[in-house]
Amino acid sequence: MTTSHFIPLAHYREYPVEEMEQRAAAFYDEIRRRRTVREFSDRPVSRAVIEDCLRAAGTAPNGANQQPWHFVAVSDPEMKHRIRLAAEAEEREFYTRRAPDEWKEALVPFGTNEHKPYLDIAPYLIAIFAQPYALTAAGERIKHYYVPESVGIATGFLIAALHHAGLATLTHTPSPMGFLNELLHRPAHERPFLLLVAGYPAADAKVPDITKKPLDEIATFV
């Protein structure tokens, strides 16, 4: 029988309201500078930074604390190239056949296409896998709960951590992504969730001229 075990909430910090307001504003100021980048520099990135950002991702709230995720940080140029070739093959299909015109129209402002040179250039590709269930050594399945929510939150933490550290990211979603299981030797029951490209932006990187919805459009207070 499983039992529960509680300990005091030791690490919570309360701030005076004014400091809380300053902190909230400062965080907004920092996170609003984050931009999705598609032009990366090949400058190497400290592995210690990636490790701490992954540790931060691993603290995300998740269903029943089952932590239904696995991150594969790829820096090996050969593996990055294999991922690029496989992603571009899927993307070629997407842009020439699979994507309905309405979808392609929605992507025009971002100038995306089937060419993904950043998969070779960026120093790190982080493949994020979701685990719908765990497999015991005996081959028994242990169901995981709220898997997409959990992995989505962890990915958000990871993106925020990388940005906070001073790195640029791109959430890349070649579809389908099954090739990642094969290339990265992940078990068949794990689902590739997202391929996060991370590194320094290219010195001359450009980003689309887009804006975010204002608060009154995205939130309601009742």
Task: Confirm or reject binding of residue 75 to ligand IYR (CB under 6 A).
Answer: no
Size of the site for ligand IYR (CB under 6 A): 9
Q: Which of 173, 181, 183, 189 binds ligand IYR (CB under 6 A)?
A: 173
Name the residue with the smallest CB distance to ligand IYR. 112
Per-residue string for binding with ligand IYR, 14-53, x by CB under 6 A? ----------------------------------------
Contact between 172 and ligand IYR (CB under 6 A)? yes
Per residue, what are the HEC states of 115-162? CCCHHHHCCEEEEEEECCEEECCCCCEEECCCHHHHHHHHHHHHHHHH
Minimum separation from the CB atom of position 60 to ligand IYR (A): 22
In the set 66, 67, 112, 181, which binds ligand IYR (CB under 6 A)?
112
Binding of ligand IYR by 88 (CB under 6 A): no
Please tell me whether residue 107 binds ligand IYR under the rule CB under 6 A: yes
- 119: its two tokens: 């998969």
The Cα–Cα gap between 17 and 39 comes to: 40
Residues near ligand IYR (CB under 6 A) are 91, 94, 107, 110, 112, 172-175
